[in-house]
Chain A
Amino acid sequence: MTRRLALLSALLVLTGCGLEPRDRITDPASPQASDIDGLWTLSLWLGVAVWIIVMGLLAVPLLRSWRQRRDASDRGRPASSDDDHLDVEVVCPPPADEARTRADATAPAAELDEPLAVADPHEHDDAQRDALARSRLLWLGGIVVPAAILLLLLIASGQVGSSTAHVERDGELEIDVIGHMFWWEVHYPELDITTANEIHVPVDRPVRLNLTTEDVIHSFWIPRVHGKIDMIPGRENLLTFEPTETGRFRGQCAEYCGIAHAQMVAFLEVQEADEFDAWVEQQQADAAEPQTDQEVEGQRVFIEAGCAACHAVQGTDAVAGVGPDLTHLASRGSLAAGIRPNTRDDLQELIVDPWGVKPGNPMPPTTLEPDELEALLDYLEVLE
């Protein structure tokens, strides 16, 4: 009942506020996620059925007992001491049994165990009668039925496991994703592209991610296309999936990786093949040249104010690989590992107050004159 109430109120709140979840496991966009969703549906229905049956079994004695209590109080007599432990005063321990002290202390211990012990000896016959039903409940409810369900689920789980685990596929697009505190570095080894936090892939083509880490353990997860897999120092883990739907799918680091773990978001951008090809062409180009004086000034600030100590812009003197590659920064949809939209204001805030935007951000705050900052922002906006 409480569960149903909770579910109901959860739904009310959801619909009431118009909050549709952005990404969910039950809205798969790849055969892999779809298979897992099928496994979830199967286990959900079986689980709900089991839970309802068990609760029904539990409810029988509880309801009966409540009815007895009610009947007892309806008849206007105080509930028997058996039924009422709510009032300490009326509770009496069973009278000390005379028989106890007359025990035959010499009888062999093993022969005296009764098959059933009851507090009230008058119930003994009932108890004997119930023994068979009880044993059935235990065998069927505790062993046979659960074992059958579990066997079914084990087979289903094994099948889905083998259909979703990594296998080499022809024509797969290979992408290296490297976890950093607290962002994702993305390489396309065959296409010679380096970017960050946003992974573009074409629809209906197998994708293979080679997942490694630069520092601590992270876990890569885009719920709508596949489960998560960890990035572990000294290891490379592989994840293959085949997106069947275009869209911008969100995911975030799933293994606690330090102070800003909550703000390490990745986007998977699934595009039509021609859009993807256009994107590849754009990304393969060197950075756009600054045109106006302001932009040229911005480039100078970028190099001299310290940005270039960590960030690379291909085709310029900035070649460092500590922070995300900014060659095509302006073409991305988000900033600071997916937590801010890519607008001029957010970019400015990120440069001036990176620890306010993301506590624990390894990027230090940069102190700039207002006109230098404007120039820098102008330049960064050129980097399409």
Chain B
Amino acid sequence: MSAGTDRPSDVQLLDHIWGARPGFIGWLGQCNHKAIGRRLVFTSFVFLLIGGALALVMRTQLAFPDNDVVGAQQFNELFTMHGTIMMFLFVVPMLKGFVVYVAPLALGARDMPMPRLNALGYWVYLLGGIFLLSSFAAGAVPDSGWFAYVPLTGPDYAPELNLDFWLLGVTMLEVSGIVTAIEIVTLVARFRAPGMSIFRMPVFVWSGFVASVMILFAFPPLVAGTVLLELDRKVGTVFYDASAGGDPLLWQHLFWWFGHPEVYIQLIPALGMAAAIVTAAAGRRMSGRTAVIASLVAIGILSFGLWVHHMYATGIPLLATSLFTAASFMIAIPSGVIVMSFIGTLWWGRIRWSSSVLYVVGFVFVFVAGGITGVMVAMVPFDWQVHDTYFIVAHLHYVLVGGSLFPILGALHHWMPKLTGRIMSEKLGGWAFALNFLGFNLAFFPQHALGMFGMPRRVWTYEEGLGWDGLNLLSTAGSYVMGLGMLIFTVALVLAHRPGAPTAPADPWGGDTLEWATGSPAPNYNFRSTMQVYSPEPLWDDRSVLGDHGPDGPDPDRPDWQRRLERPETGVRQMVATTGLDAEPDHIVTLPGHSLHPLWVSIALAVALVGVLIDSVPLGVFGLVGMIASAAAWLWPGVE
């Protein structure tokens, strides 16, 4: 911007301001929501593949009775890490990644409101994941199941480091989840495009918002639970020690107070993804759109009243548990409303087929079945029979694969153009879907029967002659088919990004929401101009003001602040904040750009936790001091 005649265009100026700094350090220090969102999506995809590979090893072991592919200890490590990776390292970060990438675009914002905090969320997640997986290298892999019941995980029965890896790693992941949730709630509350009143917000953004509010209430109890258990293990407190007046059931209450909302935190944004795909595919407004939003909120609230249905067999009196049956049943109503809305939308729209639509169809097929078995296991007496059996394994995979994985795979197809500017092969996508769908049902449907035949979950072997052989073999065969499906999906993902692969148009699906109004991939600054939104589907109505109205554009009377956002001569990143409900323009906020502070804070946190892990006070103190120092540098006024 030297004093010359060639003044940079608005777009060049915006691109420069919102772009990453050059070089590796510039890449590392990116805080923009698109960089963070992409990182979350692709990192968690890698964890999905790792978690899936562990599952295939388990299914191989269980293919035949008295098999010895892996031993008891390895098997116990495998199912613990499979559950932990899928729950904490794949589903939640993947969903958050999509919300972080797509929500600001769908709201017409230029970034998340606190970009550096957003970066912190990613770095803590990445380091937490590496911390957990480093237990393989340390030879102390967590082996107590993903819900880590005491006293098996207490100091008496798990004296080695295995559980410390789990507790400290999971705590990091929870911190990361809370940080990102705060970020998303703030974004949704204050950074919607002018005119996008709360009920004009896209359903997907609603779902991300509901899930984030849930995270704020659901994750702290688990942080409390894991900290208490770590104190029992490291300091010698007796919170969970029954012989000293503690109570092992306290852990179960704390864990499931987190754990039950958690499964809905994994479901709700996936429902939002499916809603986005269905709406775009049908070319119609979501049938019963307001009812769908109300249902998402209802599920979010009700999910906090269900945790005891994981504890029916603990001896809690029947009257109390029956109330949880009723509460669990209630959640079927909003779920039913949502499913009916999806069907209604497809029914009255004209379906434009794509792989993402296939995944939504697969989602309805599988999720409804999982919901029905969910109603069954919510009945106390029936749950006494099938609790902790393969019936539950089948149920939870029907709900989570149907309700989370399928929509996520569909969303990867749907939003890949926006994420990277590339479009995944529909041909490979169709094959991957067919194999995933077939393999999934083949792998998990027989497990219902296995549970009915008395096979408990988490068994590394079983004897011949119990009548479990054939079904287990079938289930293993199905899991291989699904493994092949995931392999093809991964190939399609990689091929789409090979040099010279076709690039995606801005709006390949005829979408309704604002992210399709900008380029693919979204430019650094997201949108050149401030938009004015008049309906929930701004790209389909004929009133909303979108896109590129430059100095010679049709709206010369736009307010001065909009001109300044279009041409930020100040050279800083700015976007408009709006009011909470009606989204009236309120004020302009200035956002930080490049920053390495979040990375330093995360590394210092990891160092401190390694200190706790290996009982090294100096290392712990070093990490703590590092955290304080890097946080101080982060917050120091005037220094970016």
B244 nearest CB neighbor, chain A only: A234
Q: In this assembly, does B480 line the interface, its C-beta being within 8 Å of a C-beta of chain A?
A: no
Q: Which of B235-255 contact A (CB under 8 A)?
A: 242-243, 247-249
Q: Determine if B42 is an interface residue (Cβ-Cβ < 8 Å).
A: no
Residues of chain A contacted by B283 (CB below 8 angstroms): 82, 118-120, 123
Contact A230 B545 (CB under 8 A): no
- Chain A proximity of B237: nearest CB distance (Å): 16
**B512 CB within 8 Å of chain A:** yes
A146, B330: Cα distance in complex, Å: 10
B residues less than 8 Å from A69 (CB atoms): 353
The CA of A216 and the CA of B158, in the complex, are separated in Å by 11
Please report the C-alpha to C-alpha distance between residue A143 and residue B471 in the assembled complex, in whole angstroms: 36
Residue contact A117 to B555, C-beta cutoff 8 Å? no
B461 and A157 form a contact (CB under 8 A) = no
B288 near A: Cβ within 8 Å?
yes
Task: List the A side residues contacting B471 at CB < 8 Å.
Answer: 10, 13-14
Whether A228 contacts B313 in the complex (CB less than 8 A), given A47-B373, A113-B535, A359-B73, comes out as: yes
Chain A 137-167 near chain B by CB (<8 Å), digits 1 or 0 = 1100111001100100110111011101100
Contact A261 to B382, CB < 8 A, known contacts A61-B346, A217-B149: no
- Does B339 belong to the interface (CB within 8 Å)? yes
Query: Does A21 contact B454, Cβ atoms closer than 8 Å?
Result: yes
Distance of A150 Cα from B102 Cα, bound (Å): 37
Q: Does A280 contact B (CB under 8 A)?
A: no
A278 at the interface (CB under 8 A from B): no
In the complex, the chain A residue whose C-beta lies closest to that of B463 is A339
Q: Which of B437, B462, B534, B536 contacts A103 (CB 8 A)?
A: B534
Q: Which of B447-479 contact A (CB under 8 A)?
A: 449, 452-454, 456-463, 465-471, 473-474, 478
| Size class of the contact patch on chain B | 35 or more
User: Which residues of B547-571 have CB atoms within 8 Å of chain A's CB atoms?
Assistant: 547, 549, 553-555, 558
A25 CB within 8 Å of chain B: yes
A88 to chain B, nearest CB (A): 5
Bound CA span A121–B541, Å: 9
Which of B325, B384, B387 counts the most A-chain CB atoms under 10 A from its CB? B384
A253 & B456 in contact (Cβ 8 Å cutoff): yes
CB-CB under 8 A from A65, the residues of chain B are 350-351, 353
The answer to whether A130 has its CB under 8 Å from any CB of chain B is yes
B445 CB contact (under 8 Å) in A3, A40, A120, A259: A3
A360 contacts the other chain (CB 8 A) = yes
Complex: A80 Cα to B512 Cα, angstroms:
19
- Name the residue of chain B whose CB is nearest to the CB of A162: B318
Which of B17-25, B110-118, B500-508, B604-612 forms part of the interface with chain A?
B500-508
Q: Which residues on the A side are within 8 Å of B442 (C-beta)?
A: 2, 6, 9
Q: What is the bound-complex CA distance between A93 and B452, given in angstroms?
A: 51
Minimal beta-carbon separation of B273 from chain A (angstroms): 17
Is the pair A25, B386 in contact by a Cβ cutoff of 8 Å? yes
The chain A residue sitting closest to B317, CB to CB, is A165
Q: In residues 44-71 of chain A, which contact B (Cβ within 8 Å)?
A: 44, 47, 50-51, 54-55, 57-58, 60-62, 65, 69
Q: How far is the CA of A120 from the CA of B541 in the complex (A)?
A: 10
Are B470 and A16 closer than 8 Å at their CB atoms?
yes
Q: Which residue of A lies closest to B554 (CB)?
A: A101
Please choose the segment from A194-202, A219-227, A283-291, A306-314 that sits at the chain B interface, where 4 or more of its residues have CB less than 8 A away: A219-227
B242: nearest chain-A partner, CB-CB: A234
Q: Considering the chains assembled together, what is the distance between the CA atoms of A228 and B516 in angstroms?
A: 53
How many angstroms between the C-alpha atoms of A118 and B462 in the bound complex? 56
Q: Is the CB of A228 within 8 A of B470?
A: no
**Residue contact B151 to A216, C-beta cutoff 8 Å:** yes
Chain A nearest Cβ from B482, distance in angstroms: 12
Select which of B145, B426, B438 is within 8 A of A2 by beta carbon: B438
A230 to B252, CA, bound (A): 13
Asked, given contacts A85-B509, A117-B540, A233-B243, whether A23 binds B351 with beta carbons under 8 Å apart, the answer is: no
Is the C-beta of B287 less than 8 angstroms from some C-beta in chain A? Answer: yes
Stretch of B50-58, B119-127, B221-229, B360-368 contacting A (4+ beta carbons < 8 Å): B360-368
Residues of A within 8 A of B583 (CB): 109
Q: How far is the CA of A254 from the CA of B344 in the complex (A)?
A: 42
Partner of A227 from B72, B73, B381, B536 at Cβ < 8 Å: B381
Cα distance A261–B458 when bound, in Å?
8
Interface string of B323-344 (1 = CB under 8 A from A): 0011001001100111111011
Mask of B375-397 contacts with A, CB within 8 angstroms, 1/0: 11001111111111100000000
Q: Which of A14, A156, A228 meets B387, CB within 8 Å?
A: A228
Question: Is B546 among interface residues, defined by CB-CB distance under 8 A?
Answer: yes
Considering the chains assembled together, what is the distance between the CA atoms of A102 and B200 in angstroms? Answer: 20
Instruction: Produce 1/0 per residue, B284-298, CB < 8 A to A.
Output: 110110010000000
Contact A83 B454 (CB under 8 A): no
Q: How far is the CB of B309 from chain A (nearest CB, A)?
A: 12
Q: Report Cα–Cα, A9/B471, bound state, in Å.
A: 9
Given A25-B452, A43-B382, A87-B426, A10:B509 Cβ within 8 A: no
Judging by beta carbons under 8 Å apart, are A113 and B200 in contact?
Answer: yes
B487 within 8 A of A: no
Q: Which residues from A are CB-within-8-Å of B130?
A: none
**B379 near A21: Cβ-Cβ < 8 Å:** no
By beta carbon, the residue of chain B nearest A92 is: B505
Name the distance in Å between A203's Cβ and chain B's nearest Cβ: 21
Judge whether A93 and B505 touch: CB under 8 Å.
Answer: yes
A181 to B344, CA, bound (A): 54
Q: Are A22 and B466 in contact (CB under 8 A)?
A: yes
Flag A92-130 by CB within 8 Å of B: 1 or 0 each. Answer: 111011011111110101101110111111010011001
Are the CB atoms of A117 and B461 closer together than 8 Å?
Answer: no
Q: How far is the CA of A43 from the CA of B18 in the complex (A)?
A: 57
Interface residues of B in 63-88 (CB under 8 A from A): 71-73, 76
Contact of B454 among A9, A22, A50, A109 (CB under 8 A): A22
CA distance A138 to B538 in the complex (A): 25
Contact yes or no, A23 B325, CB < 8 A: no
A229 contacts the other chain (CB 8 A): yes
Contact A93 B348, beta carbon cutoff 8 Å? no
For the complex, what is the distance from the CA of A91 to the CA of B520, rounded to whole Å?
A: 14
The answer to whether B197 has its CB under 8 Å from any CB of chain A is yes
| Residue pair B348, A51 in contact (C-beta under 8 Å) | no
* Chain A residue nearest to B377 in the complex (CB): A43
**Can you name 20 A-B pairs with beta carbons within 8 Å?**
A3-B445, A10-B474, A39-B379, A58-B361, A61-B343, A61-B346, A88-B426, A94-B507, A94-B539, A100-B545, A109-B197, A113-B535, A119-B284, A120-B283, A123-B350, A134-B344, A142-B336, A228-B313, A256-B458, A260-B72
Known: A2-B438, A143-B337, A227-B385. 9 other contacts (CB 8 A): A88-B423, A141-B336, A142-B333, A215-B157, A234-B242, A237-B315, A256-B149, A262-B458, A359-B71
Closest 5 CB pairs of A and B: A227-B384, A234-B242, A21-B467, A119-B283, A262-B459
Q: Which residues of A contact B (CB under 8 A)?
A: 2-3, 6-7, 9-10, 13-14, 16-17, 19-26, 33, 35-36, 39-40, 43-44, 47, 50-51, 54-55, 57-58, 60-62, 65, 69, 82-89, 91-94, 96-97, 99-105, 107, 109-110, 112-114, 116-121, 123, 126-127, 130, 133-135, 137-138, 141-143, 146-147, 150, 153-154, 156-158, 160-162, 164-165, 181, 215-217, 219, 221, 223, 226-230, 232-235, 237-238, 250-263, 339, 359-360
